[in-house]
Amino acid sequence: MSPFDTTTVTISITGIEIVALKKLSMVSHALAQKLGGVAEREQTTLVKVLDDLVRQIELKSAGC
């Protein structure tokens, strides 16, 4: 699978798991700010993906 491929999956996720993902995102943001160079860019990219995933989960759970 290419990094640019799109795949649709169905998952079950609890509210506490969404909270955990949000906290992971907050920690990842803080880590990205502390890093420098390539590591900072990679961490920033990962946190953007995580934030997008959380947004998608929230939208789907709201029925959008």
Span 8-63, pLDDT tens digits: 888 899 999 999 999 999 999 999 999 989 999 999 999 999 999 999 999 988 88
CA-closest candidate to residue 30, choices 17, 40, 19, 20 = 40
- Do 44 and 4 form a contact (C-beta atoms < 8 A)? no
The yes-or-no verdict on residue 1 having pLDDT over 70 is no
> Distances in Å between the alpha carbon of 37 and those of 12, 32, 40, 41, 48?
37, 10, 5, 7, 17
Asked if 45 and 52 count as a contact pair (C-beta separation under 8 A), the reply is no
Q: What is the pTM of this model?
A: 0.76
